[in-house]
């Protein structure tokens, strides 16, 4: 399908030059490899080859979550794709689920949930920082996902307004202080997923998980290889530690 004004695209020049932009009339996209008028790309299709002003080839690609990760605005450290993918998979959420998240941050997990689970899913995200949620709202608007997300400027430790929730995701410094409200909101067998950066936080979380079974604490490590002829090997640098995923499922207490 032809691209329209306002559509997001990835301009792929080479593995080190991958840019997320929107097609806007009379706006010039510029890189050290050359420039191009974005308005002239309207009407082309995803996958099209284009020429920068220097004659260097580039390609128009449809944004994927990986591209969104590279190009969206952020105020703080965000969850990495390797962690987000496993969090979604292990939580068991699906289209139609009710999901609560705290804190929103720049919205990368929020946007991933909205991207993969569609309009039928209720995604509610809490944060105490308005500046963070403003960035997340802008990112959601950029991707056309605003109508799939409910933003609440509220401390989840003081209460969760939703009930019978399928999954709750916590990315906050002291998740153990939110356990009382989490237990009330989460449905039996519902998933709790916590992301923390340090082992000390895992140790503090453990005593608060007495109402959960199938509890795990995990770390994911991904290693990328350089793809060069006669020199395929692991890259010299990469992302090693990002954080720990703690997950469990709510049990019903028998008195």
Q: If you average pLDDT over every residue of the chain, what do you get?
A: 92
Q: What is the dihedral of CA 26, 27, 28, 30, to 10 degrees?
A: 180
147 a known binding residue? no
What would the mean pLDDT of 35-57 be, rounded to a whole number?
Answer: 96
Which carries the bigger pLDDT value, residue 65 or residue 102? 102
Question: DSSP characters for 113-126?
Answer: HHHHH-TTSEEEEE
Give the per-residue pLDDT at 25. Answer: 94
Average pLDDT of 179-190?
97
Instruction: Judge whether residue 2 has pLDDT over 90.
Output: yes
Residue 155 assigned to a binding site: yes
Share of the chain above pLDDT 90, in %: 77
Residue 116 is assigned to a ligand binding site: no
- CATH 3.40.50.150 is right for the domain spanning 68-250: yes
CATH number of the domain at 8-63, please?
3.10.330.20
User: Could you tell me whether strands 149-153 and 122-127 are parallel, antiparallel, or unpaired per DSSP bridges?
Assistant: parallel
Q: Would you place residue 144 in the very low, low, confident or very high pLDDT band (cuts 50, 70, 90)?
A: confident
**Whole-structure pTM value:** 0.86
Residue 52 has pLDDT above 90, yes or no: yes
Q: What is the pLDDT of residues 117-131, one digit of tens each?
A: 999 999 999 999 999
Domain ranges of the chain: 8-63, 68-250
Q: According to the annotation, is 34 in a ligand binding site? A: no
pLDDT at residue number 75: 62
pLDDT at 78: 79
Q: Which of 21-30, 74-83, 211-220 bottoms out in mean pLDDT, i.e. has the lowest?
A: 74-83
Find the distance separating the first CA and the last CA of the chain, reported in whole Å.
60
pLDDT the model gives residue 255: 65
3-state secondary structure 53-93: CCCCEEEEECCCHHHHHHHCCCCCCCCCHHHHHHHHHHHCC
Given this model, what pLDDT does residue 224 score? 87
Q: Is the pLDDT of residue 116 over 80?
A: yes
Q: Is the pLDDT of residue 76 over 70?
A: no
Tell whether residue 171 is among the known ligand binding residues: yes
Structure confidence at residue 14 (pLDDT) = 93
pLDDT at 66 > cutoff 80:
no
Query: What pLDDT does 118 receive?
Result: 93
Where would I find the beta strands (DSSP E) of 15-65?
17-22, 28-31, 34-37, 49-51, 57-61
């Amino acid at each position: 399908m032809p691209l329209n004004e306002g559509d997001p695209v990835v301009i792929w020049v080479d593995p080190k030059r991958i840019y997320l932009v929107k097609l806007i009339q009379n706006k010039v996209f510029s890189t050290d490899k050359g420039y191009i008028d974005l308005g002239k790309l309207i009407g082309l299709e995803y996958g099209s080859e284009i020429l920068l002003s220097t004659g260097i080839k580039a390609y128009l690609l449809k944004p994927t979550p990986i591209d969104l990760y590279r190009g969206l605005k952020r105020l703080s450290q965000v969850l990495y794709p390797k962690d987000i993918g496993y969090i979604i998979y292990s939580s068991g959420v699906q289209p139609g689920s009710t999901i609560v998240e705290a804190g929103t941050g720049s919205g990368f997990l929020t946007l991933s949930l909205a991207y993969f689970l569609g309009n039928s899913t209720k995604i509610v995200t809490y944060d105490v920082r308005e500046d963070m949620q403003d960035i997340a709202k802008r990112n959601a608007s950029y991707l056309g996902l605003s109508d799939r997300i409910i933003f609440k400027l509220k401390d989840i430790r003081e209460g969760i307004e939703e009930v019978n929730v399928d999954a709750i995701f916590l990315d906050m410094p002291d998740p153990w202080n939110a356990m009382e409200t989490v237990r009330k909101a989460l449905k039996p067998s519902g998933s709790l997923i916590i992301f923390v950066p340090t082992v000390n936080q895992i140790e503090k979380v453990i005593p608060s998980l007495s109402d959960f079974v199938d509890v795990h604490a995990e770390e994911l490590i991904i290693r990328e290889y350089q793809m060069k002829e006669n020199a395929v090997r692991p890259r010299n640098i990469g992302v090693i530690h990002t954080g720990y995923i703690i997950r469990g499922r709510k049990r019903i207490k028998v008195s």
